[in-house]
Amino acid sequence: MKNSYTRGVTVAEVLVVVAVMALIFGVVMPQFSNIKESQVLKNTTSDILSSLNKAQSQTLASVSSSSYGVHFQSDKIVIFTGTSYSAGSSSNVSINVSAPATITNVTFGGVSATLGDIYFNRLSGAPNTSGTITVSSTNYSKIVTISATGVASSN
């Protein structure tokens, strides 16, 4: 007796596999986008905390016998020398905020704005003001809080 069937893949089987793969990608791909967005937000929050800690520690160490501060804009964080931010200063250290994250609100001393500055006292390391910085993306937001003692934390 001769075998009357042939081996191979039918069109129906190929269509089932393609449909299952499309369903998997349709469910999984949006989750990867959310994970990426969440990670960018965490990285931006970490950059803010790191900048605040660096400015405070440089102030306490009296690097260049100066105070240091942090300037916040929607798309960047700038560590500056002295007690006031000067955009053109060569000593400024800029950290860009990666999209889709942005700094949406800075509230220091009860005053809310889209940008702001904070600097640290040379003797105590205490900030000139306390408040919050809100970092937002499309679906998420985080708040960085700076206490009157200079301790920075995020939610």
CATH number for the domain that contains residue 82: 3.55.40
- Domain membership of residue 4 (yes or no) is no
Q: What are the tens digits of pLDDT across the range 1-18?
A: 566 666 777 888 889 999
- Domain membership of residue 6 (yes or no) is no
Closest CA to 147 of 122, 125, 123: 125
Please report the pLDDT score of residue 113 as a whole number. 84
- Domain membership of residue 5 (yes or no) is no
Greatest Cα-to-Cα distance within the chain, rounded to the nearest angstrom: 99
> Between 144 and 27, whose confidence is greater?
144
- Domain membership of residue 27 (yes or no) is yes
Range 125-148 average pLDDT: 93
Q: What are the tens digits of pLDDT across the range 25-59?
A: 888 777 777 888 899 999 999 999 999 999 999 99
Residue 134's domain spans which residues?
A: 11-154
- Domain membership of residue 51 (yes or no) is yes
H or E segment to which residue 104 belongs: strand 102-108
- Domain membership of residue 103 (yes or no) is yes
Dihedral in degrees, nearest 10, Cα atoms 37, 43, 48, 54: -170
SS3 state of residue 128: coil
Q: In the chain, how many domains are there?
A: 1
Which conformational region is residue 27 in: left (phi greater than 0), alpha (psi within -120 to 50 degrees), or beta? alpha
- Domain membership of residue 143 (yes or no) is yes
Q: What are the tens digits of pLDDT across the range 48-93?
A: 999 999 999 999 999 999 999 999 999 999 999 999 999 989 999 9
Please report the pLDDT score of residue 1 as a whole number. 56
The C-alpha angle 88, 117, 100, rounded to 5 degrees, equals 85
Please report the pLDDT score of residue 24 as a whole number. 86
3-state helix, strand, coil in the chain (%, to 5): 35, 30, 35
- Domain membership of residue 68 (yes or no) is yes
Please report the pLDDT score of residue 60 as a whole number. 94
